[in-house]
Amino acid sequence: MFDYHIHPSYSIDAEGTVEEFCRAALVVGLKEIAFTTHLDADRVGDDCYVNVKGKRVDIASSVWFEDYESRIRTTGDRYEEQGLRVLLGVEVDCFPGVQGALPERFFSTDFDFIIGSVHLIDHIAISANGRAEEVFRKYSMEELGERYFSILIDSIDLEIFDVLAHIDLYRRYGEVFYGESIHDLWKPHLKELSSKMLSKRVGFEINTSSLRRGMQQPMPEERIMRALRDEGISTVTVGSDAHTPFDVGKGINVALDMVKQAGFDGPSTYRKRKSTIIPWSDYEKQN
């Protein structure tokens, strides 16, 4: 079983050391995890920091990259002997101009796996309660869709990440504001999104954090999974988006069952940013 979206305490909104997350992964029977610390490079906001040894460090500093890579690799070597493979990853928050804002060290770090996600519209986090409403009041639902998906689609051209995270993140607070119709927001953008994903060989993740928030489906919901599959997208990963060790692996079996029922050949794993589909028959033997 895999969990490809984990935030250790390097992320300013997370708690728990790399070691604590690894121990938690073993307890719940995971075979492979990817640490994906937030890389928020938007200077207009106030989140462009990481925690290093109890101190807040600017995201542009090479210090945190060196410490992060060393800690993940060293801990990974130790836990591989116990049957847990640990991948070095990162989650890049995409916004217009993100490529020029990324730290120089980002481009020379030997990542195994990179997530791309959109949290910000007009530099405001639609994933944050108390902030999202400011964006929603400003835009109609259709305008929100245009802005959100244009950022998502344009970011694929940058070729800086491997999978899209929580594609329908706007559902988290958007459903309360806009109503049930928010579930159809993706439809006008599906063709352009899937075409761009195919051309750049970008997959997507099934993110289970929504299940812990009382939502009925992971992100993206099943209809989007099936639509992307029908458009030819075959690379899909699963991740808990854990911000504490307690949440590692939560909902992963549910997500994998949905991936299987949606008709995918199997979940994908990564090594040095190269994906491999694990056929269901092989996955079941391993787990």
% of the chain residues with pLDDT over 70: 100
d(CA 36, CA 242): 10
Which one, of 195, 198, 203, lies nearest residue 274 by Cα? 203
Q: What is the structure's pLDDT at 61?
A: 87
Tens digits of residue pLDDT in 133-166: 999 999 999 999 999 999 999 999 999 999 999 9
Number of separate domains in the chain: 1
* Whether pLDDT at 285 is above 80: no
| Residues shown for the chain | 287
Tens digits of residue pLDDT in 99-129: 999 998 999 999 999 999 999 999 999 999 8
**Mean pLDDT value of segment 257-261:** 93
Q: What is the structure's pLDDT at 239?
A: 96
* Whether pLDDT at 251 is above 80: yes
Q: What is the structure's pLDDT at 218?
A: 95
Higher pLDDT, 214 or 69: 69
At a CB cut-off of 8 Å and minimum separation 6, what does 128 contact?
119
Do residues 31 and 83 lie in contact, with contact meaning Cβ atoms separated by under 8 Å?
A: yes
* Whether pLDDT at 246 is above 70: yes
Give the domain CATH number at 258: 3.20.20.140
Tens digits of residue pLDDT in 1-17: 899 999 999 999 999 99
199 three-class SS: helix
**Mean pLDDT value of segment 13-32:** 95
* Whether pLDDT at 184 is above 80: yes
- Report in angstroms the alpha-carbon separations of 283 from 239, 260, 261, 267: 16, 11, 15, 8
Q: What is the structure's pLDDT at 284?
A: 78
**Mean pLDDT value of segment 29-44:** 94
The parent domain of residue 259 ranges over 2-286
Binning pLDDT at 50, 70 and 90, where does residue 77 land?
very high
pTM recorded for the entire structure: 0.95
Q: What is the structure's pLDDT at 45?
A: 74
d(CA 259, CA 283): 13
Tens digits of residue pLDDT in 49-69: 899 988 899 988 888 999 999
**Mean pLDDT value of segment 261-279:** 94
**Mean pLDDT value of segment 222-247:** 96
The overall average pLDDT reported for the chain is: 94
Beta strands in 15-109 (DSSP E): 32-39, 49-52, 55-58, 85-93
Q: What is the structure's pLDDT at 287?
A: 67
Tens digits of residue pLDDT in 78-90: 999 899 999 999 9
At a CB cut-off of 8 Å and minimum separation 6, what does 29 contact?
1, 249, 287
Report, in this order, helix, strand and coil percent for the chain, each rounded to 5: 40, 20, 35
- Report in angstroms the alpha-carbon separations of 37 from 11, 15, 160, 232: 5, 12, 15, 29
Q: What is the structure's pLDDT at 222?
A: 95
